[in-house]
Amino acid sequence: MLLITIDTLRPDRLSCYNSKYVRTPAVDALASKGVLFERAFAHTPSTLPSHANILLGTTPLSHGVSENSKAKVADVFLTLAEHLKTNGYGTGAFIGAFPLDSRFGLDQGFDIYDDSLPLKSELGAAYSERKAEQVVAAAMAWLSTQKGKWFCWVHLWDPHAPYVPPEPYLTKYQNDPYSGEAAYVDAQLDRLFADLQKKGWAEKTLVVLTADHGESLGEHGELTHSYFGYNSTLHVPLIMAGPGIRAARVNDYVSHIDIFPTVCKLLNIKAPAFLQGESLTPLILGKKAKARPIYFESLEPYLNKGCAPLRGFIEGQKKFMDSPIPEVYDLAGDFNETANLAAKTDLSPYKKKFQEMEESLSLSRKTEGTQVVDRQTLERLRSLGYVASSVSQLKASYGPEDDLKNFLPYQQKLEKAIILGDQGRTEESIQIMSGLINEKRDFGPAYTYLSQIYMSRGQIREANKTLDDGCRLNPKNYTLLSAYGTFLVKYGQWEKAIEVLQKALSLLDFDPEAWDNLGIVYMRKGDLPKALEYYDKAIALDKTFALAYSNRGAAYLDLGRKPDDLARSIENFRIAVSLDPSMNLAWRGLGYASQTAGKRDDAIAAYEKAVVTDPNDDFSTKNLGLAYLEKGDKSRARECFQRYLKLKADNISPDERDNVLALIEKCKYETEY
């Protein structure tokens, strides 16, 4: 069974739904032999909650995951992967971006959960997604090893902002790069479908394709998603094809939580009793099905920006939004939600129905999603479009002033400033962010983003003041404290960093990045046992945290260089590079630890990787030369020393230059045999 989730994809960017914008022949071909659902809906317009809904078959009212930045799927919940694994399926997941990192709990039940993404730890560092071609290639490699039944989940991130498809799509769709991303993803899916065909599996495989949510593209004043709950972000594509499924188009309203029970029915597996969705097999077979209400929510702004909560339901082509300024739409004639009918509608039946639905869907709740906040998470999500900042306290009640529609101007200013900053128009971005802070002192994202802009311009003093002001005015804002602590570590203000990070951890202690930063501070202060204690805590919270393993490797290397310490150092560096092969710091450390342990060939291999990941790494370049010289390979040693001199240029002392020139002279003649 193949589950494909395409991030941030509107149905109208698949030509089987709408041919106005782009041609998507691979997905069209899938739809032509399967069932296309015209009216499928997500329950949340954010990545992690939507995927939890799909893989758990329940809504956030049950599993408790309502946001990207501070939630984790609890172990008590049974995932689709776990259920299929119990029924004899090999299970593999291949992930395109950080919001679905294994730390958030959706790895449960997978034999392999491939979220091999570059780890970015520095505040303000750009985040690079894993492109669809890489994800598809990894999935195809895993599929080639499968001998029996399998379940493969492929998550493709590309349509998410910023929209920068690779060539030739960037040029072809230069006026609509979002559609270009859809065209690129379709081309990569064509590779995956062709691979299934080559293996003889195409007609035997159940394929489910959907998106986690859509994209507003300016509709209702929202540029992207995770803010409002309109159909521009809740309406999603849903296509099912495979054995026993005939081509059809279904107009009934369906939702993400229906996928789990439908898969069970189509695979002839008993569905778990706790599922809140219904099997869509009657609709697939052309039969009628009873209409059911579809719950939805958008709580990212409520949980992270102090706005009122937004929840609602769709039933009988009517849509009700429960908020301080309620909304009612007749989707039969107004699917784009242009005319709010609430003012001339008796809302009491809708409110009663919504209350009943909340109680019903909450019955199976066993535990809330576990909080798992960390600065690295929040800053990565910010760079991806999720601008999160934990509020100190949710209000007891909310009025019209807190409604998302009235809060929208702040959100629009934030998004505009981010876009201007990404375009290099930093002066304009600073002006907007500064004004936003003056208007709303508790708007945390403005402080964090403004500080990043200042740092990108080398205005470190201004960045420090921005974060310090933000923390002083918002002393219980975890995101600000964590960001400021990271800033202080980066710029060597050890004592202040300890104070700020400990305040952050007193609010939320599930932050592997904060513990890692404390480890760095104590390592710089020479307290290696304390540093190791904090690195251990970071790794216990996130076993895929490559940087923490690398830092722990460095601590063991500095501890005394005893054989046991060196062995632990090498082991940690090896784990780090296995988790993130692009991490130069870990390769460099592995090279030096191996060299210190007398493992020359291992050192050479690691240093070679180090200079590939960072060609400007002069430390590894010189040490690689020394290792080659020790081995007797004078030609390669000479190349390394000459490259080292070029890298150092004028930034080298006369004594060191003379030393390196002497080494080059030693390499002048090859050993004759």
Joined tokens for residue 305: 């920006």
- Max mean pLDDT among 167-176, 376-385, 536-545 falls in 167-176
Q: What does the alpha-carbon distance between residue 30 and residue 25 come to, in Å, rounded to a whole number?
A: 9
Q: What does the alpha-carbon distance between residue 404 and residue 370 come to, in Å, rounded to a whole number?
A: 26
Identify the pLDDT of residue 363: 55
Joined tokens for residue 507: 């609010």
2-120+128-290 falls under which CATH superfamily?
Answer: Alkaline Phosphatase, subunit A (3.40.720.10)
Q: What does the alpha-carbon distance between residue 451 and residue 470 come to, in Å, rounded to a whole number?
A: 10
- Quick: pLDDT tens for 234-279: 999 999 999 989 999 999 999 999 999 999 999 999 999 999 999 9
- Quick: pLDDT tens for 405-457: 998 998 899 889 988 988 889 999 999 999 999 998 888 888 999 999 999 99
Asked if residue 382 lies in contact with residue 388, where contact means CB atoms within 8 angstroms, the answer is yes
Average pLDDT of the segment spanning 551-571: 91
Res. 35 pLDDT band, cuts 50 70 90: very high
Alpha carbon 81 to its chain's center? 20
Asked if residue 180 lies in contact with residue 163, where contact means CB atoms within 8 angstroms, the answer is yes
Q: What does the alpha-carbon distance between residue 289 and residue 303 come to, in Å, rounded to a whole number?
A: 36
Average pLDDT of the segment spanning 503-513: 83
* Unique residue bearing structure tokens 């317009």: 45
Q: What is the dihedral of CA 519, 524, 526, 527, to 10 degrees?
A: -20
Q: What does the alpha-carbon distance between residue 672 and residue 628 come to, in Å, rounded to a whole number?
A: 16
Phi, psi of 508 (to 5 degrees): -145, 120
- Quick: pLDDT tens for 336-359: 999 999 999 999 999 999 999 999
Identify the pLDDT of residue 124: 36
Interstrand relation of 318-322 and 327-330 (parallel, antiparallel or unpaired): antiparallel
Residue 511 has pLDDT above 90, yes or no: no
Q: What does the alpha-carbon distance between residue 121 and residue 489 come to, in Å, rounded to a whole number?
A: 12
Joined tokens for residue 170: 């960037």
Joined tokens for residue 464: 């420090």
Identify the pLDDT of residue 434: 96
E strands within 23-170? 35-41, 90-94, 112-114, 150-156
Enumerate helices (H) and strands (E) in the chain, giving the number of each.
Answer: 28, 12
The residues with which 344 forms a beta bridge, in sequence order, are: none
Average pLDDT of the segment spanning 647-655: 93
Tell which wins on pLDDT, 223 or 369: 223
Asked if residue 123 lies in contact with residue 483, where contact means CB atoms within 8 angstroms, the answer is yes
Identify the pLDDT of residue 672: 41
Percent of the chain with pLDDT over 70: 92
Cα distances (Å, whole numbers) of residue 74 to 50, 120, 175, 395: 15, 26, 43, 26
- Domain residues of the chain, as ranges? 2-120+128-290, 392-510
Joined tokens for residue 196: 């299934």
What pTM does this model have? 0.83
Residue 184 has pLDDT above 90, yes or no: yes
- Quick: pLDDT tens for 46-68: 999 999 999 999 999 999 899 88
Q: What does the alpha-carbon distance between residue 552 and residue 572 come to, in Å, rounded to a whole number?
A: 7
The three-state secondary structure class of 237 is strand
Q: What angle do CA 433, 439, 444 make, to 5 degrees?
A: 60
Q: What does the alpha-carbon distance between residue 609 and residue 622 come to, in Å, rounded to a whole number?
A: 14
- Quick: pLDDT tens for 61-103: 999 899 886 677 888 899 999 999 999 999 999 999 988 988 7
Asked if residue 203 lies in contact with residue 172, where contact means CB atoms within 8 angstroms, the answer is no
- Quick: pLDDT tens for 121-167: 333 333 447 999 999 999 999 999 999 999 999 999 999 988 999 99
Phi, psi of 155 (to 5 degrees): -110, 120
Alpha carbon 340 to its chain's center? 34
Cα distances (Å, whole numbers) of residue 401 to 135, 154, 406: 44, 41, 6
DSSP 337-405: -----GGGS--HHHHHHHHHHHHHHTTT---PPPP---HHHHHHHHHHT------S---S---GGGSHH
392-510 falls under which CATH superfamily?
Answer: Tetratricopeptide repeat domain (1.25.40.10)
Res. 669 pLDDT band, cuts 50 70 90: low
Joined tokens for residue 449: 């983003």
Cα distances (Å, whole numbers) of residue 252 to 37, 206, 284: 7, 21, 11
Joined tokens for residue 549: 């393993």
Joined tokens for residue 590: 């592995």
Average pLDDT of the segment spanning 208-221: 97
Alpha carbon 182 to its chain's center? 19
Identify the pLDDT of residue 74: 85
Residue 648 has pLDDT above 60, yes or no: yes
Average pLDDT of the segment spanning 606-616: 96
The residues with which 90 forms a beta bridge, in sequence order, are: 150
Res. 553 pLDDT band, cuts 50 70 90: very high
